[in-house]
Amino acid sequence: MVVELRQTFLLSLDDLTHIAKEYINEEASRSGIHRCLVRHGIANLNALKQDLYAEETPEKKRFKDYEPGYIHIDIKYLPRMPDEKEHQYLLVAIDRASRVVCLGVYPDKSAASAADFLRKVEQRFPIILKYVLTDNGKRIH
Protein backbone atom coordinates (compact mmCIF):
# COMPACT_ATOMS: atom_id res chain seq x y z
CA MET A 1 0.00 0.00 0.00
CA VAL A 2 2.89 2.39 0.77
CA VAL A 3 4.33 1.74 -2.70
CA GLU A 4 0.94 2.46 -4.29
CA LEU A 5 0.56 5.67 -2.28
CA ARG A 6 4.04 6.86 -3.34
CA GLN A 7 3.46 6.10 -7.02
CA THR A 8 -0.06 7.50 -7.16
CA PHE A 9 0.23 10.63 -5.02
CA LEU A 10 4.02 11.22 -5.16
CA LEU A 11 4.11 11.65 -1.39
CA SER A 12 7.27 12.49 0.52
CA LEU A 13 8.83 9.99 2.92
CA ASP A 14 7.59 11.98 5.92
CA ASP A 15 4.03 12.11 4.55
CA LEU A 16 4.13 8.37 3.82
CA THR A 17 5.39 7.67 7.33
CA HIS A 18 2.61 9.73 8.88
CA ILE A 19 -0.09 8.05 6.80
CA ALA A 20 1.32 4.56 7.40
CA LYS A 21 1.41 5.10 11.18
CA GLU A 22 -2.06 6.62 11.22
CA TYR A 23 -3.90 4.23 8.90
CA ILE A 24 -1.84 1.11 8.18
CA ASN A 25 0.42 0.15 11.10
CA GLU A 26 1.10 2.37 14.10
CA GLU A 27 4.49 0.69 14.54
CA ALA A 28 5.68 1.59 11.02
CA SER A 29 9.03 3.37 11.06
CA ARG A 30 10.44 5.97 8.71
CA SER A 31 13.51 3.82 8.06
CA GLY A 32 11.36 0.74 7.37
CA ILE A 33 9.27 2.64 4.85
CA HIS A 34 12.43 4.02 3.24
CA ARG A 35 13.84 0.48 2.89
CA CYS A 36 10.56 -0.59 1.27
CA LEU A 37 10.78 2.30 -1.22
CA VAL A 38 14.43 1.42 -2.00
CA ARG A 39 13.48 -2.23 -2.52
CA HIS A 40 10.85 -1.17 -5.06
CA GLY A 41 13.14 1.35 -6.77
CA ILE A 42 11.08 4.42 -5.87
CA ALA A 43 13.04 5.93 -2.98
CA ASN A 44 14.12 8.99 -4.97
CA LEU A 45 10.98 11.11 -5.39
CA ASN A 46 12.54 13.48 -7.93
CA ALA A 47 13.70 10.56 -10.09
CA LEU A 48 10.23 9.03 -9.86
CA LYS A 49 8.67 12.30 -11.01
CA GLN A 50 11.11 12.54 -13.92
CA ASP A 51 10.35 8.94 -14.93
CA LEU A 52 6.62 9.59 -14.77
CA TYR A 53 6.75 12.80 -16.75
CA ALA A 54 9.60 11.75 -19.09
CA GLU A 55 11.03 15.26 -18.90
CA GLU A 56 11.51 17.98 -16.35
CA THR A 57 9.19 17.92 -13.38
CA PRO A 58 6.18 20.02 -14.31
CA GLU A 59 5.59 23.31 -12.59
CA LYS A 60 3.53 22.92 -9.48
CA LYS A 61 0.01 24.13 -10.03
CA ARG A 62 -1.29 26.18 -7.19
CA PHE A 63 -4.85 25.96 -6.01
CA LYS A 64 -6.56 29.27 -5.78
CA ASP A 65 -7.00 30.40 -2.21
CA TYR A 66 -9.88 28.61 -0.54
CA GLU A 67 -11.38 29.10 2.86
CA PRO A 68 -11.34 26.04 5.13
CA GLY A 69 -14.22 23.67 4.48
CA TYR A 70 -13.72 23.12 0.73
CA ILE A 71 -13.12 19.36 0.61
CA HIS A 72 -11.92 17.37 -2.40
CA ILE A 73 -12.73 13.64 -2.28
CA ASP A 74 -11.12 11.02 -4.50
CA ILE A 75 -11.33 7.24 -4.74
CA LYS A 76 -8.55 4.84 -5.75
CA TYR A 77 -8.84 1.18 -6.66
CA LEU A 78 -6.36 -0.80 -4.53
CA PRO A 79 -4.86 -4.02 -5.89
CA ARG A 80 -5.75 -7.22 -4.09
CA MET A 81 -3.19 -8.14 -1.45
CA PRO A 82 -2.05 -11.77 -1.11
CA ASP A 83 -3.94 -12.21 2.19
CA GLU A 84 -7.20 -10.73 0.84
CA LYS A 85 -9.98 -12.37 -1.15
CA GLU A 86 -11.10 -9.15 -2.89
CA HIS A 87 -9.56 -5.83 -3.76
CA GLN A 88 -10.52 -2.72 -1.81
CA TYR A 89 -10.97 0.99 -2.43
CA LEU A 90 -9.09 3.89 -0.86
CA LEU A 91 -11.18 7.02 -0.25
CA VAL A 92 -9.25 10.23 0.36
CA ALA A 93 -10.57 13.62 1.50
CA ILE A 94 -8.36 16.73 1.46
CA ASP A 95 -9.28 20.19 2.68
CA ARG A 96 -7.90 22.57 0.04
CA ALA A 97 -7.10 25.35 2.51
CA SER A 98 -5.55 23.52 5.46
CA ARG A 99 -4.41 20.34 3.62
CA VAL A 100 -5.92 18.20 6.39
CA VAL A 101 -6.29 14.64 5.02
CA CYS A 102 -8.62 11.78 5.90
CA LEU A 103 -8.28 8.25 4.45
CA GLY A 104 -10.57 5.25 4.53
CA VAL A 105 -10.32 1.76 3.03
CA TYR A 106 -13.59 0.13 1.97
CA PRO A 107 -14.54 -3.18 0.30
CA ASP A 108 -16.79 -1.49 -2.29
CA LYS A 109 -17.84 1.82 -3.85
CA SER A 110 -21.39 1.67 -2.52
CA ALA A 111 -23.46 4.59 -1.29
CA ALA A 112 -23.28 3.12 2.22
CA SER A 113 -19.45 3.16 2.12
CA ALA A 114 -19.45 6.74 0.82
CA ALA A 115 -21.87 7.85 3.53
CA ASP A 116 -19.75 6.15 6.22
CA PHE A 117 -16.63 7.84 4.86
CA LEU A 118 -18.31 11.27 4.87
CA ARG A 119 -19.32 10.75 8.51
CA LYS A 120 -15.68 9.94 9.34
CA VAL A 121 -14.51 13.02 7.42
CA GLU A 122 -16.92 15.22 9.40
CA GLN A 123 -15.63 13.76 12.68
CA ARG A 124 -11.95 14.03 11.73
CA PHE A 125 -11.85 17.52 10.23
CA PRO A 126 -11.64 20.32 12.79
CA ILE A 127 -13.65 22.63 10.50
CA ILE A 128 -17.19 23.01 9.20
CA LEU A 129 -17.49 21.34 5.80
CA LYS A 130 -19.00 23.75 3.27
CA TYR A 131 -18.32 22.12 -0.10
CA VAL A 132 -17.45 18.61 -1.23
CA LEU A 133 -15.90 18.26 -4.69
CA THR A 134 -15.69 14.83 -6.32
CA ASP A 135 -13.93 13.54 -9.45
CA ASN A 136 -16.89 14.11 -11.68
CA GLY A 137 -16.91 17.80 -10.79
CA LYS A 138 -20.13 17.78 -8.80
CA ARG A 139 -20.02 20.15 -5.86
CA ILE A 140 -22.22 19.35 -2.90
CA HIS A 141 -22.94 21.97 -0.28
**pLDDT tens by residue, 111-126:** 899 899 989 988 888 7
pLDDT digits (tens, 9 = 90+) for 97-113: 778 888 999 999 888 99
Q: Does the 70-140 domain belong in CATH 3.40.50.300?
A: no
d(CA 132, CA 121): 11
Per-residue confidence (pLDDT) for residue 133, from 0 to 100: 79
pTM recorded for the entire structure: 0.50
Per-domain residue ranges of the chain: 2-53, 70-140
d(CA 124, CA 119): 9
Closest by CA position to 21, among listed 5, 8, 39: 5
For residues 94 and 72, the answer to whether their CB atoms sit within 8 Å is yes
pLDDT digits (tens, 9 = 90+) for 62-84: 656 777 788 888 888 888 878 87
Which class for 34: exposed (0-12), middle (13-18), buried (19 or more C-beta within 10 A)?
Answer: middle
Between residues 135 and 89, the one the model is more confident about? 89
pLDDT band per the 50, 70, 90 thresholds, residue 134: confident
Supply the DSSP string of 39-87, one letter for each residue.
HTT---HHHHHHHHHTSSPPPPPPPPP--TTEEEEEEEEEPPPTT-SS-
Per-residue confidence (pLDDT) for residue 109, from 0 to 100: 87
